[in-house]
């Protein structure tokens, strides 16, 4: 594999020509990936990494069936959806078959962001209402309309919350207002939504939609308590609004037991609009909004055409169909369930062993490891999380840290992830946590506050190490590795990246 540019030139050119707002993973020591297959990625030196970050390579990087399907169609035809073509209708049919019956009308777009923007337009057109209820720490996309409903973004950018946006508390039973010890957190959190609706009505405002990621990802791998969505949907419907389930990160069998994450909430819960993206095309730019006939008709009654130049093109649909085929033929849903359960089991053992692990939550191959410096207070271990992901990278495992405090290690690998991969990942993590805890003296029985212990033990020089772009490999110097803790929570490293 020959590179066009050496890594430092690649980095330099990037600095010159790519918008500086576009960040790289591991900013202190970025990775140049040149090749990937299944759940493994390879850098320019041929070093292998186990990809637990993933993002879009749902059925495995460069899956040959998907690649073949794209090639076949690219050689034949790639035009827009204003011509009749079998691929788009076949794909819509196959997608609809995975969903509850009333979700039967599809709009194809190119990105989750486009899908969520269209979902908003559909919701607003439906009854002419404007307001949107969103969850705290939500992220729905990078478009203007979506920054407005993504507290994860607008709070960071210090944008003023728009008056038509209402933020409900995230139904986080680990760190939120109503926790696992609460008698009925689902009702308690749903009641917050009810209060918001009542407040809005008092001010003469009308609710168009409640939008939520079926499981919050950037918000820290949050799984809403059972019953929450049903109750919220009831309140929202009563107010004349619709329920939008954002499955952009979590759809297509990732949770194992079901195809869509929202299905975990029971057969009696059916959103009015579902948006999907990311894994849909295994990396090919495609996304979709599925809704009811009623909502679709209200949208078309405006008389305005909706045309998306590339959405629903024959190649994208061929790719989408191939991904569905692979999910089925390789029983990836079953795999997600089996490997996900096994991984969760291993992680729970780690939790018993390491005090840094406050909570393990997840389902299927969507798992979060919530790191804390104090079990009672559940103080997010932000710096430790950063340190860990850099150390994991050195050991050939790619992980990212998410959540509003950047302390949740996020595991969302390609669906072909194996039990061996899970064991490998956990073994590396175990080693790193052990070393870390030895270094900071954070024993389970320790009465010394973690911060003090850290400051006492870590030499000042070590703080600089992670920010240094030098090519020294800490693997060659075990003592440096031991001391490589970045305790500076305000460093650029702590501005973690969302996936």
Sites for another protein among residues 320-379 (CB under 8 A): none
CB atoms within 10 A of CB 231: 19
Is 49 or 174 the residue whose CB approaches another protein more closely?
A: 49
Query: Which secondary structure element, helix H or strand E, spans residue 9, and what is its range?
Result: helix 7-17
Nearer to another protein, 214 or 316 (CB): 316
The closest alpha carbon to 370, from 332, 410, 330, 336, belongs to 410
Distance in Å, CB of 396 to another protein, minimum: 15
Phi-psi region at 257: left, alpha or beta (left = phi > 0; alpha = psi -120 to 50): alpha
Q: How far is the CB of 20 from another protein (least distance, A)?
A: 4
Site for another protein in 295-314 (CB under 8 A): 302-304, 306-310, 313
Q: Which of 100, 227, 285, 396 binds another protein (CB under 8 A)?
A: 285
Q: From the CB of 344, what's the least distance to another protein, in Å?
A: 26
Range 209-268, binding another protein (CB under 8 A): none
Interface residue with another protein among 20, 46, 459, 461 (CB under 8 A) is 20
Which candidate, 133, 149, 243, 136, places its Cα nearest to that of 194? 133
Q: Which two tokens stand for residue 295?
A: 């909502």
Write out the H or E segment, with its range, that includes residue 362: strand 357-363
**Smallest gap from residue 350 Cβ to another protein (A):** 27
Residue among 38, 129, 140, 153 that touches another protein (CB under 8 A): 153
Q: Which stretch binds another protein (CB under 8 A): 20-28, 186-194, 226-234, 384-392?
A: 20-28
Q: In a 3-state reduction of DSSP, which class is residue 370?
A: strand
Distance CA(451)–CA(454), nearest Å, equals 5
Tell me: does residue 456 bind another protein (CB under 8 A). Answer: no
Least distance from another protein to the Cβ atom of residue 55, Å: 6
Contacts of 96 (CB under 8 A, 6+ apart): 103, 104, 106, 290
User: Any contact of residue 18 with another protein (CB under 8 A)?
Assistant: yes
Window 54 to 113, contacts with another protein (CB under 8 A):
55-57, 61-62, 64, 67, 70-71, 74-80, 109-113
Rank residues 131 and 192 by Cβ distance to another protein and give the closer one.
131
The dihedral built from the CA positions of residue 457, 459, 464 and 468, taken in this order, carries a sign that is negative
CB of 69 to another protein, least distance (A): 10
Is residue 165 a contact residue for another protein (CB under 8 A)?
Answer: no
CA distance 57 to 284: 9
Residue 400 buriedness (CB in 10 A; 0-12 / 13-18 / 19+): buried
| Pair of tokens at residue 472 | 């020294």
Collect all residues with Cβ–Cβ distance below 8 Å to 10 and sequence separation of at least 6.
3, 32
Tell me which of 58, 265, 284, 405 binds another protein, using CB under 8 A: 284
Q: DSSP states of 156-224 as a string?
A: TTTPPPPTTEEEEPP--TTTSSS-TTSS-HHHHHHHHHHHHHHHHHHTT--EEEEEEESSBSTTTSB-P
Total residues at interface with another protein (CB under 8 A):
83
Nearer to another protein by Cβ, of 57 and 211: the residue is 57
> Which stretch in 9-17, 373-381, 434-442, 468-476 sits in contact with another protein by CB under 8 A?
9-17
Show the CA angle centred on residue 217, arms to residues 214 and 221, nearest 5°.
90
CB of 290 to another protein, least distance (A): 18
Distance, CA of 381 to CA of 376 (rounded, Å)? 13
Residue 56 to residue 303: CA distance in whole angstroms: 35
Q: Which of 28, 31, 165, 234 binds another protein (CB under 8 A)?
A: 31
Nearer to another protein, 143 or 234 (CB): 143
Taking the least distance from each CB to another protein, the nearer of 153 and 258 is 153
* Contact by Cβ (8 Å): 278, 55: yes
Nearer to another protein, 137 or 498 (CB): 498
CB of 102 or CB of 142, closer to another protein: 142
| Touching another protein, residues 394-453 (CB under 8 A) | none
Q: Least distance to another protein from the beta carbon of 403, Å?
A: 15
Measured from the CB atom, is 66 or 450 closer to another protein? 66
CA–CA gap between residue 255 and residue 401 (Å, rounded) = 20
Position among 45, 46, 144, 460 found at the interface with another protein (CB under 8 A): 144
The residue (of 341 and 494) whose beta carbon lies closer to another protein is: 494
Looking at 3, 47, 163, 438, which residue binds another protein (CB under 8 A)? 3
Q: How far is the CB of 153 from another protein (least distance, A)?
A: 6
């Amino acid at each position: 594999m020959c590179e066009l540019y050496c890594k430092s030139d690649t980095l330099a050119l990037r600095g010159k020509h790519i918008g500086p707002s576009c960040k790289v993973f591991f900013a202190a020591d970025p990775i140049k990936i040149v090749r990937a297959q299944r759940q493994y990625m390879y850098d320019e030196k041929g070093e292998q990494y186990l990809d637990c970050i993933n993002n879009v390579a749902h059925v495995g990087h460069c899956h040959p069936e998907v690649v073949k399907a794209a090639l076949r169609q690219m050689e034949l035809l790639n035009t827009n959806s204003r011509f009749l073509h079998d691929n788009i209708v076949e794909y819509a049919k196959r997608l609809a078959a995975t969903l509850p019956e009333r979700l039967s009308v599809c709009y194809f777009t190119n990105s989750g962001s486009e899908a969520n923007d269209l979902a908003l337009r559909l919701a607003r057109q439906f009854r002419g209402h404007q307001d949107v209820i969103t969850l705290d720490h939500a992220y729905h996309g990078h478009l203007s309309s979506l920054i407005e409903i993504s507290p994860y973004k607008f709070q960071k950018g210090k944008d003023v919350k728009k008056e038509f946006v209402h933020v409900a508390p995230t139904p986080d039973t680990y760190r939120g207002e109503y926790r696992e010890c609460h008698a009925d957190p689902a009702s308690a959190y749903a009641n917050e939504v009810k209060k918001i609706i009542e407040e809005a009505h008092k001010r003469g405002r009308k609710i168009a939609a409640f939008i939520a990621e079926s499981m919050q990802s950037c918000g820290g791998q949050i799984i809403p308590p059972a019953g929450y969505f049903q109750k919220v949907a009831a309140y929202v419907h009563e107010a004349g609004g619709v329920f939008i389930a954002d499955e952009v990160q979590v759809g297509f069998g990732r949770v194992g037991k079901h195809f869509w994450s929202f299905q975990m909430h029971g057969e009696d819960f059916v959103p009015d609009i579902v948006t999907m993206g990311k894994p849909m095309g295994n990396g090919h730019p495609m996304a979709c909004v599925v809704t009811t006939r009623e909502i679709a008709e209200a949208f078309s009654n405006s008389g305005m055409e909706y045309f998306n130049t590339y959405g629903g093109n024959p190649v994208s649909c061929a790719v989408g169909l191939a991904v569905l085929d692979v999910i089925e033929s390789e029983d990836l849903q079953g795999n997600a369930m089996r490997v996900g359960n096994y991984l969760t089991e291993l992680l729970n053992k780690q939790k018993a062993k390491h005090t840094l692990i406050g909570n393990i939550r997840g389902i299927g191959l969507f798992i979060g490891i919530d790191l804390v410096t104090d079990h009672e207070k559940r103080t997010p271990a932000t710096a430790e999380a950063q340190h860990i992901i850099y150390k994991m990278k050195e050991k050939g495992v790619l992980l990212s840290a998410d959540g509003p405090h950047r302390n949740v290690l996020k595991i969302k690998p390609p669906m072909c992830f194996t039990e061996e991969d899970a064991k490998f990942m956990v073994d590396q993590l175990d080693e790193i946590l052990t070393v870390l805890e030895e270094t900071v003296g954070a024993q389970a029985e320790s009465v010394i506050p973690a911060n003090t212990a850290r400051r006492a033990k870590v030499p000042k020089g070590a703080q600089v190490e992670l920010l240094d772009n030098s090519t020294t490999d800490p693997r060659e110097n075990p003592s440096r590795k031991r001391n490589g803790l970045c305790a500076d929570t305000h460093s650029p490293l702590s501005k973690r990246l969302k996936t």
